[in-house]
Amino acid sequence: MTGYRRYAENLMRKLLRGYRLYFSGDVLNSDGRRIFEDIVRSMIYSKEYHPGLIRQARRNPSLENMLKIARILLPEHEIEEIIQTSIEGPVQNSYWRFLERK
């Protein structure tokens, strides 16, 4: 794994964890777009560039398209956990897991 790939993964985690900061109405705001462009640049350097998907995400920077790119960089279980924690909050997430075990 290259350093660029690791950097892109960390930026994607930051983008998804900061859902309330970087998204407005399920679309990236200007701060989120800056992070997204850094992710794209790192993906190009690490040779994991997917031109069709990147083009689609640049035209429509919705949460759905960001998750498609996140699936390239991160494992599915980690994405689900990050999204649940960023939307519901850490306390809500742990409470729901407690209820699921019963």
Rg of the chain taking only CA atoms, in angstroms = 14
pLDDT by 10s per residue, the chain, length 102? 678 999 999 999 999 998 889 999 889 999 999 999 999 999 999 887 888 999 999 999 999 999 999 999 999 999 988 888 877 666 655 555 555 655
pTM of the model: 0.81
- How far apart (Å, rounded) are the C-alpha atoms in residues 42 and 48? 9
| Token code pair at residue 82 | 């990050």
Strands (E), the chain: 23-24, 27-28
